[in-house]
Amino acid sequence: MGAVRKIKTKRRTRDYDQVRADIDSPKHLTQYKATKDAEDLPGLGKHYCVECSKWFESEYNLVAHTKGKNHKRRLRLLREEPHSQKIAEAAVGLGTDNGLRQQETVVDMED
Ligand SMILES: [Zn+2]
């Protein structure tokens, strides 16, 4: 008992790629907000941090949050390059052959 680690879904925020889409496209964000009922949200959904995908009870709480550690960490993560298939392939040595290596691998057979 207790050995299985469950993924906590209650506190789960949106994935970074979703948040990036929110930042790039206000329409995307509006569509996401439309899936929520304002009456169920803290502060009736008026105080929202786009980067963290969180609602706050008041403007004061939101401002305090944007100055906080969690928010800044989130901003830093969002600035980093999104993961892509190309990066994943590069990590295992695939797909980034740009031909420069050829010069190094020429074997000198004169001996
Ligand atoms: Zn935030």
pLDDT value for 31: 93
Mean pLDDT computed over 64-92: 83
Q: Cβ(31)–Cβ(20) under 8 Å? A: no
Query: From the CA of 25, how far away is ligand 1's center (Å)?
Result: 17
Q: If pLDDT is split at 50, 70 and 90, which confidence band does 80 have?
A: confident
- Pairwise CA distance, residues 12 & 54, whole Å: 10
Residue 13 CB partners (closer than 8 Å, separation 6+): 52, 53, 54
Query: From the CA of 59, how far away is ligand 1's center (Å)?
Result: 13
Q: If pLDDT is split at 50, 70 and 90, which confidence band does 74 have?
A: very high
Domain 10-82, what architecture?
2-Layer Sandwich (3.30)
* DSSP 8-class letter at 97: -
Query: From the CA of 107, how far away is ligand 1's center (Å)?
Result: 56
Residue 55 CB partners (closer than 8 Å, separation 6+): 41, 42, 43, 45, 47, 48, 49
The neighbourhood of ligand 1, an ion, using CB within 5 A, equals 49, 51-52, 71
Q: What is the pTM of this model?
A: 0.63
pLDDT value for 90: 77
Burial of 20 (0-12, 13-18, 19+ CB in 10 A): middle
Query: From the CA of 19, how far away is ligand 1's center (Å)?
Result: 11
Neighbours of 42 (CB within 10 A): 15
The domain locations on the chain are 10-82
Query: From the CA of 92, how far away is ligand 1's center (Å)?
Result: 34
pLDDT value for 91: 75
Query: From the CA of 50, how far away is ligand 1's center (Å)?
Result: 7
Q: What is the pLDDT of residues 21-64, one digit of tens each?
A: 999 999 999 999 999 999 999 999 999 999 999 999 999 999 99
Query: Given a cut of 70, is residue 99 above it in pLDDT?
Result: no
